[in-house]
Amino acid sequence: MTLLAACAHRSPAAAPTLDGGWSSDEITVFVLLEGAEARPAIWVERGELLPAGAIVRQDNGAVQFRLTEGPPATVTIALSEDDALLLIWADDDGGQPEHHSLTRTTPHSTAALEQEWADQAAAAVAWNVEAIRTAELAHFFALDTFLPAEIWPRSVASLTPDPVAWPDGSDFEQLGWSPQGMVRGTFEVTVAEDGRELTVHGWQDLDGDGVPAHWTATRQLGVKRISAAGAR
């Protein structure tokens, strides 16, 4: 009788939900729902972790969105009958849309995803500072002088969390250096009067609070962060 009573009062199984982590060999998606009617927060990891931009919940339960960065594309996700996540990736330049079947993986919190994204962005600025230093050292070994470079592609005061393009016309062209893709940071090279010492600077303001994080590198020292730990 006890067993029958327990069975009679057992709660119904929870309805399938998009909420949680989903992964395949190529792509990982984290969906963080805030209620059935709310728009979810979505993060996509495909080489790098990126948040979704405009998100639309469709009447059939599917969710459609675009990423804040990377190649322009529309992504649609929906649950399949076997509780897998069907992801359709359609690039704006046409071509055949990609279809991926993702299975459940370990979910992440919003805070953990935001920290991973911040760490990734910081690593990108630091990598660019070190790459500029390497280009400057090559220039020095060839011509016995370092090359100054005015701050580019924007002033420190105009930094925002959003990435921007790297336009033509910078002093960095004389070094034969440019970043890969868009950048959140801005960069500068100052050189001593005799041309034999330099400091490479890189800044970013990932939280848009007007207090940027700051990295430097010199002739003798590789890249290091010199701003306070709380600056992003």
Backbone angles phi, psi at 15, to 5 degrees: -65, 145
Report the C-alpha gap between 7 and 1 in whole angstroms: 10
Mean pLDDT of 73-93: 90
Task: Give the residue, 75 or 39, on which the prediction is more confident.
Answer: 75
Closest CA to 226 of 203, 210, 205: 203
> Can you name the residues that pair with 63 across neighbouring β-strands?
57, 77
Average pLDDT over the chain, rounded to whole?
Answer: 87
Measured distance between the N- and C-terminal CA atoms of the chain, rounded to whole angstroms: 61
Domain positions in the chain: 2-108, 113-225
Does the structure show a pLDDT above 90 at 81?
A: no
Does the structure show a pLDDT above 80 at 13?
A: no
Report the C-alpha gap between 37 and 116 in whole angstroms: 27
Q: What is the pTM of this model?
A: 0.79
**Which pLDDT does position 109 carry in this prediction?**
86
Mean pLDDT of 32-44: 74
To 10 degrees, the CA torsion angle through 13, 23, 71, 78?
-20
Does the structure show a pLDDT above 50 at 24?
A: yes
> Can you name the residues that pair with 94 across neighbouring β-strands?
none
pLDDT more than 70, % of the chain? 91
